[in-house]
Amino acid sequence: MGAIIVALPSMWVTQRVTDTEGFVSVIAPLAYDGQVQDFIADEITEEVAARTEFPGAGAVVRPLAVGYVQGDSFPADFSDLVGQQHAWLFDEAPAGSSAQTMELDITPMINRALSEQNLPFDLTVSDPVLVPMSEHGNLEAGRYHKVSGQIETIAYSASVIAAAAAILALLFGHRRGTVLAWIGIGGLLAAGLCWVVALNATTIIDRQVSTEGSGHTVTNLAIDAMADDLTRWAMIAAAIGAAVTVVGVVTRLIGGRTRY
């Protein structure tokens, strides 16, 4: 039961947070969220306007930027941006690099938005456009690289221990129905732990991340997406745990004083 309770949330972290593809799959749908689109459109407009002397460039670029973030190419570009964020946090920081505020490079987005429009001026952004995602520099490169490896070790170790212990208990237990019931209860407790973590996800992550303004709004949307995904895991685990518990109880009642 202890191994089951540890395995479920740690495996979720391994599969949906520390794994790049899993993380992107959870966050990528936010590309269709209006608040995220507004944030990116604002950043594109601001950066383009700052890099041209064309009068009223911001007013010209803004609707074009909005068209871009609502277009077909934006979701793929946004997924690339999410991948950048994940790499910054979970890839090992280059040797000798100093801690710094996490910044996302939106240069490809800006140039794609510009190339898809017929602007009254010729403009291609060559210098990197970096958008800071933390106001107080508390998201340094590679911050979670070491801990992600530790969590992965815990997740797989706990899963193996849970499976092995369950098999041995069923093989040698005097009351196998009772064993099944306790295994199911372990699944229910693991689901409850995941549900509690999901409910408090914003508070937990806010202690690690300090953002303000539109960046804070986008961060909260990402947290909500992760919490929703963890809640789905909890619901599935709860359903399986409840089913196993019921089977165990029924088996115990039918078996009476037998080994079943």
Q: Would you say residue 259 lies in a domain?
A: no
Q: Would you say residue 212 lies in a domain?
A: yes
How many whole angstroms separate alpha carbon 98 and alpha carbon 75? 32
Q: Would you say residue 139 lies in a domain?
A: no
Q: Would you say residue 160 lies in a domain?
A: yes
- What per-residue confidence (pLDDT) applies to 128? 66
Report the range out of 47-61, 91-105, 147-161, 208-222 with the highest average pLDDT.
Answer: 147-161
What six digits make up the tokens of 48? 């383009």
Q: Would you say residue 134 lies in a domain?
A: no
pLDDT tens digits for range 129-144: 666 665 444 567 777 8
Range of the domain at 225: 144-254
* pLDDT, mean of residues 173-190: 93
Q: Would you say residue 5 lies in a domain?
A: no
Domains held by the chain: number? 1
How many whole angstroms separate alpha carbon 177 and alpha carbon 244? 10
**Which of 112, 111, 108, 106 lies closest to 71, judged by CA?**
112
Q: Would you say residue 135 lies in a domain?
A: no
Average pLDDT value for the chain: 82
Is-contact 245 185, C-beta < 8 A? yes
pLDDT tens digits for range 106-133: 777 777 776 766 655 555 666 666 666 6
* pLDDT, mean of residues 237-256: 91
What six digits make up the tokens of 227? 């919490």
Q: Would you say residue 42 lies in a domain?
A: no
Ranges assigned E (strand) in 44-194: 103-105, 130-132
